[in-house]
Structure 1
Amino acid sequence: MAYSNTIRTADHGLIDQIRNLVSNLRDAHRRYKMYRQTVRELSALSDRELNDLGISRSSIRSIAIEAAYGK
């Protein structure tokens, strides 16, 4: 009579999911900090300095989003 014995190792699925979640949260936080820093730095410029860079004040947030999160 033949039989089969299956030995399973510990399932690290939950641990891997938690690690991925933490990694994603860190990445999201880093990107948000980059967004806020870009908005802060561009907002500190005068209208003349922004004009020299070819940036209107109304486009600061969209530029910061692109800088932090890509297109």
Structure 2
Amino acid sequence: MTFKQSFRNWRQYRNTCNELYRMTDRELGDIGISRSEIPFVARQAVR
């Protein structure tokens, strides 16, 4: 993986985390995840 691709993946991971952390617990529950699962879900989004 190139540096450019690694940076894109990291940026997508951070953007996903930020979006999910801005959601309320109720909104997160509606989509079936808990606050503690956010990093895992964000990592899956990068793949």
TM-score by length of 1: 0.63
More helix by share: 2
Q: Residue 31 of structure 2 is aligned with which of 53, 62, 65? A: 53
- Which one has the largest radius of gyration? 1
Unpaired stretches in structure 1, ≥5 consecutive residues: 1-22
TM-score by length of 2: 0.94
Aligned-residue Cα RMSD (Å) equals 1.1
> 1:4 aligns to what?
none
User: What percent of counterpart residues are identical?
Assistant: 40
**Greater RCO (Cα-Cα under 8 Å, separation 6 or more):** 2
**Runs of 4+ more than 2 Å apart:** none
Unpaired stretches in structure 2, ≥5 consecutive residues: none
Count of matched residue pairs: 47
